[in-house]
Amino acid sequence: MTAAILYRDELKEYDFGSGHPFRGDRYENFIKFLKSHASLEKYYDILAAEPATLTDLLRICDCDYIDFNQEYYHAASSGWVAYFEDFNHYHTLDNKPIGTPGELEGAARLIIGQAKMACDLVQAGRYKKAISIGGGMHHARRRFGEGFCIYNDVAFAALYLIEEYRLERILILDTDAHAGNGTAEYIQENPRVLFIDIHQDPHTIYPGTGFASDIGIKNRAGMIFNIPLPLNASDASYQAAFDQIILPVAQEYKPQIIIRNGGSDPHFDDGLTNLGMTIAGFRMMGEKVREMAEICQGKLIDLIASGYNNHVLPSAWLSLLSGIADFPATVEEPVPVPPQLHQDTILPETQKVLDEVKKYHHDYWHCFR
């Protein structure tokens, strides 16, 4: 079945300025790369969403935070950043633009609007899979932005599906190299959401959260999975995590829909991270996610934005989405694969992590007994 790809040229405004790791040209570059594979055109429709309204944003944010973002980021695009002394009250410094950025707040609203449209398209049965280019802002919280994230579309999608469609079992799978601390905060007490987060060892990377022992609190114990992979964990480590934990748990949980977020930053040449995935590994990951989605009749919301090597990003995104949406695309590795990654020497260390995760969840899931 054809997949919906949500994209508008205005996404390029999600740009923190020259010299910042997060630039808005990633979106346009990916769409050009996608369209260069002309044989894939019949497998997707590119659709344009409307930006989120204030009512939409109030589902996930406090009003004063929204007001600050509107005023600050509009001023920043005109070069008036220095006049806002309360920036640190609402954001960490990694969300501070450099030079002259794009219209960040407007683009952030568009990302939320795309998440909303993706939910509506899938729930209406128009598409089984809806892919939001620019989505996955998993560090943002209700009144605080960080990690290049302003509004959390992952949390929005889950809450929107619960409030508007009365869904009872939503599975969020976060495959970004960084732990989704913002998403975890939003859903930590929500009984309708299972959160599985596979990421680099938090001892070694921002935001320093997402340890295997973090399994949820009170009556939510066992409903949050953190799978912290060791440095340089490659394709075999990810495959083991899917086969031993992610897929068995999904099969037991029987979600009504899956929300996945994460881009190319687990790639071995990302620049900001220290994992070891290859382009072929992203295809494998996408295929595993597509297999998971069969549990819920193929229903998947996919949110993709991250990655910090512009040479690698389009290839990794397309390889990932080809697995997710079953695109018949062959995507080549744009950089030489280090010899040590051809055989994942980290796999024994990964297995220790997986065994630890199973131990912490043993009492909550039959698949580990």
Cβ atoms 127, 293 nearer than 8 A = no
Q: What is the separation, in whole angstroms, between the first and last Cα of the chain?
A: 37
- Separation of alpha carbons 166 and 152, rounded Å: 20
AA identity, residue 57? L
Tell me the two tokens of residue 48: 């344009």
- 90: closest CA among 139, 142, 144? 144
Estimate to the nearest angstrom the gap between the alpha carbon of 96 and the chain centroid: 21
Catalytic site residue from 37, 89, 91, 139: 139
Q: What is the DSSP string of 78-138?
A: TT-GGG-TTHHHHB-GGGS--SS---HHHHHHHHHHHHHHHHHHHHTTS-SEEEEET---T
311 is an active site residue? no
Under 8 Å between Cβ of 139 and 306: no
Active-site residue list: 139
